[in-house]
Amino acid sequence: MSQAIDALAEIFSWIGFGVGALLAGVALIMYLLDGTWLPVRAVVESGPNGRLVRWFDEDGGVGEAHLTHEQDHHIGDSDMADIFVRRGSLNRMRLTHGSPAVRAVTRLAIGMLALGVVALVTSLVMLFVRG
């Protein structure tokens, strides 16, 4: 029975550390490709194709983006909103500072690395218990 636990702990430690490191690398690349997002205060208006937000960027240009249904629901009836815009782009905005995709991959990487640590600790405990 202890040999089966040793084998499973070994497999899970290799999978946890390997996949966790791979996902951490992917998350880092995604973070770097995501670019720089700046906080701005935007005006919410109703347009012919739904609600949209307009803002001034750091160079004095006027940015404009249509709200998705979820963004519109999150902003509600407000006529002003705090948003994040992509530096150098006048039509890209989001409501969160960090990318939800990067955050999800990072959390998955942390979970896999935690699996590797737990499997490694289990393997070491089994080693010392057997003497």
Question: HSE of 37 in the Cβ direction (CA atoms, 13 Å)?
Answer: 17
Residue 54: beta bridge partners? 43, 64
Q: What confidence score (pLDDT) does residue 3 get?
A: 83
Q: What global pTM score does this model have?
A: 0.78
So what's the pLDDT on residue 33?
A: 94
Residues 6 and 126 sit within 8 Å (Cβ to Cβ): yes
Q: Give tens-digit pLDDT for 9-46.
A: 999 999 999 999 999 999 999 999 998 899 999 999 98
- Cβ atoms of 91 and 64 closer than 8 Å: yes
- Structure confidence at residue 127 (pLDDT): 86
CA R_g for the chain: 23
**Whether the predicted pLDDT of 5 surpasses 90:** no
Describe the crossing of helices 2-34 and 100-130 by its angle, rounded to 10 degrees. 160
Dihedral through CA 117, CA 120, CA 122, CA 124, nearest 10?
Answer: -140
Q: What is the mean pLDDT of residues 57-79?
A: 89
> Do the beta carbons of residue 94 and residue 55 sit within 8 Å?
no
pLDDT band of 2, cuts 50, 70, 90: confident
Q: What is the pLDDT of residue 16?
A: 96
Give the model's pLDDT for residue 67. Answer: 92
Do the Cβ atoms of 4 and 107 come closer than 8 Å? no
Over the stretch 80-115, which tens digit does the pLDDT of each residue have? 999 999 888 888 899 988 899 999 999 999 999 999
Asked if residues 19 and 27 have their Cβ atoms less than 8 Å apart, the reply is no
pLDDT-based confidence at 57, cuts 50/70/90? Answer: confident
Beta bridge pairs of residue 37: 86
